[in-house]
Amino acid sequence: MTIIILLLLAYLIGSIPSGLWVGKLFYNTDIREHGSGNLGGTNAFRTLGMKAGLVVTIMDILKGTAATLLGALPFFESANVHPLILGILAVVGHMYPIFAKFKGGKAVATSGGILLGYNWPIFVILIVGFIIILKLTKIVSLTSMILAIIAVFYSVIYYYTVNHDLPLIGIVILLAIFIFYRHRTNMKRIKDGTEPKVNWKWI
C-alpha cells in the first residue's frame, strides 16, 4: 500500500499545472488559449512575460526534484522505490496532468528537476548548456532536444568514468525519447523554417 501511495503521489506532484495556475491566479489568463497552447515555461514566457515564465519554469523543475526525493522521506523509506522511477512518474504527470485534462507540458523542465535531485552536476552542466545553445540558436525546442542528447552522452560517460549507474542511462534515454516525442511538431517547423525564435532581452 505504501508503494502505491508513493507512486501515485509522485504522479500527482508532476500533475501540478504550474503554468495554468500562475496564469489564472496572477494574470487572469489561461495560457492554453494563447501562444502554443502548451502549459510549459516557454509558453508562459511568451504569454505572461519574463517573471511568470521564470516562476513556472522553476516550479516545473522542482516538481521533478520533489518527486525524485520523495522516497527519502521516513514514511516512504520502506517502499524501496528507485528515485528515478518516481521522477519518471512526475514527468508523466507533467505531460499528462490529471489536474488539467491530461494536456500538459513537454517534459523538459521537469526532466531537469529529476537530474537536479538525483545527480546535480549534470543539471548544472545542462543549465549552462541551455543558456549557451539558446543564445546561439534562439530556438527553445531545438535547444531542448540538443540538451537531451547531451544528457544521454553524459550519462554514458558517467557510467564508464565515475559510477556504473545503469538506471541513470536508461532513465535519461527514456527522458530524451519523451522530449523528442513531445517536440515532434516543433521538429517539423524547424525543418520548414517556421519555428518561432525567442526575443527575450537576455538572449
Number of CB atoms found within 10 A of residue 2's CB: 13
pLDDT of 128 > 80? The answer is yes
Model pLDDT for residues 9-61, shown as the tens digit of each residue: 999 999 999 999 999 999 999 998 887 778 888 889 888 988 999 999 999 99
Model pLDDT for residues 59-111, shown as the tens digit of each residue: 999 999 999 999 999 988 888 899 999 999 999 999 999 999 899 999 999 99
For residues 174, 4, 18, 39, the Cα torsion angle rounded to the nearest 10 degrees is: 50
Q: What is the pLDDT of residue 200?
A: 61
Report how far residue 156's alpha carbon sits from residue 134's, in angstroms, rounded to the nearest whole number.
Answer: 24
Q: What is the pLDDT of residue 75?
A: 87
Terminal CA-CA length for the chain? 48
Say what the pTM is. 0.93
Report how far residue 111's alpha carbon sits from residue 182's, in angstroms, rounded to the nearest whole number.
Answer: 13
Amino acid occupying residue 193: G
Report how far residue 201's alpha carbon sits from residue 98's, in angstroms, rounded to the nearest whole number.
Answer: 34
Report how far residue 138's alpha carbon sits from residue 136's, in angstroms, rounded to the nearest whole number.
Answer: 6
Q: What is the pLDDT of residue 77?
A: 82
For residues 25, 31, 32, 33, the Cα torsion angle rounded to the nearest 10 degrees is: 110
